[in-house]
Chain A
């Protein structure tokens, strides 16, 4: 069978990172510490995992920059909005 030369990409390393981060998230969620800090840590971990999938599995890291703008800009807005919303709610409560 003919195989073509192709750059080696860290797909399995990303998979291991995603699985490990999911485990860390579950552990952090069970820890009793400042709720606002826990929310920040959990949202940060989720954002990091989402970024790993978008950059490496959806190839935004390697692909045309325009695709990164189309996909990344709304995601950035979503993350900023969620963080502001969560902080506002935690501060109020």
Chain B
């Protein structure tokens, strides 16, 4: 394999991400693409909402207190995640493992409450195919919920590895899972405001 940076006659090429671990740089690029993905969905929701006269009033149809509580659960999971990373940074892998597990459990609670909300709405006749509101609501919250589910699996795997001492030498894996988890939290902060409050 040839290396252009070491070939005589060629200038030394320094990657722009020098100083950043490559997996971390890759995760940030992935998150940037995710921002664009969710932006498309959110803009479609807003455009349809203000184009259609019979859009339901969120406070009348949706359970804002329940979802506000669920938002609090996700915020709690973000703080347990960042404390897990902080504990790993300090060398306390045992505490980090338990905090990772707590993060995954809080994520699972979030998904359970979202499932209850969906069941209630479907019971009231709000389905993906029944109205434009239903279609966009389930698409947005469904894609976000899928991301949370992937995050729960990822964080659980990281927690199990941490319990086995897998991050004793290098805890980059905890940081990467944390970046994804916090991103999912950021997306929900925006979705909660746009779908439930405005």
A pairs with B = yes
A4-24: CB near B (< 8 Å → 1, else 0) gives 101001011011001100110
Contact residue among A3, A53, A63 (Cβ-Cβ distance under 8 Å from B186): A53
**Chain B hits for A12, CB < 8 A:** 79
Q: In the complex, are the beta carbons of A29 and B64 less than 8 A apart?
A: yes
**Chain A hits for B94, CB < 8 A:** 1
**Chain A hits for B20, CB < 8 A:** 63-64, 66-67
Q: Does B160 contact A (CB under 8 A)?
A: no
Contact residue among A4, A14, A77, A86 (Cβ-Cβ distance under 8 Å from B46): A86
**Chain B hits for A58, CB < 8 A:** 178-179, 182-183, 186
How many cross-chain pairs have Cβ atoms below 8 Å apart between A and B? 129
Contact residue among A11, A56, A66, A78 (Cβ-Cβ distance under 8 Å from B35): A78
Q: In the complex, are the beta carbons of A26 and B190 less than 8 A apart?
A: no
B49-80: CB near A (< 8 Å → 1, else 0) gives 01000000001000011001001100110110
> Known contacts being A12-B79, A64-B20, is A74 close to B92, with CB within 8 Å?
no
Q: Does B198 contact A (CB under 8 A)?
A: yes
Within 8 A of A (CB), among B147-198: 178-179, 182-183, 185-186, 189-190, 192-194, 196-198
**Chain A hits for B198, CB < 8 A:** 29, 38-39, 42-43, 86
Q: Does B8 contact A (CB under 8 A)?
A: no
Cα of A19 to Cα of B15 in the assembled complex, Å: 40
**Chain A hits for B189, CB < 8 A:** 46, 49-50, 53
Instruction: For the complex, count residues of B whose C-beta is within 8 A of A.
Output: 51
With CB as the reference atom, state the residue of chain A lying closest to B34: A74
> Known contacts being A11-B79, A75-B35, is A54 close to B86, with CB within 8 Å?
no
- Chain A positions near chain B (C-beta within 8 angstroms): 1-4, 6, 9, 11-12, 14-15, 18-19, 22-23, 25-26, 28-30, 38-39, 42-43, 45-46, 49-50, 53-54, 56-58, 63-64, 66-67, 70-71, 74-75, 77-78, 81-82, 85-86, 89, 92-93
- With A22-B71, A58-B183 already in contact, 5 other A-B pairs whose C-beta atoms are closer than 8 Å: A25-B193, A58-B179, A67-B25, A71-B32, A92-B50
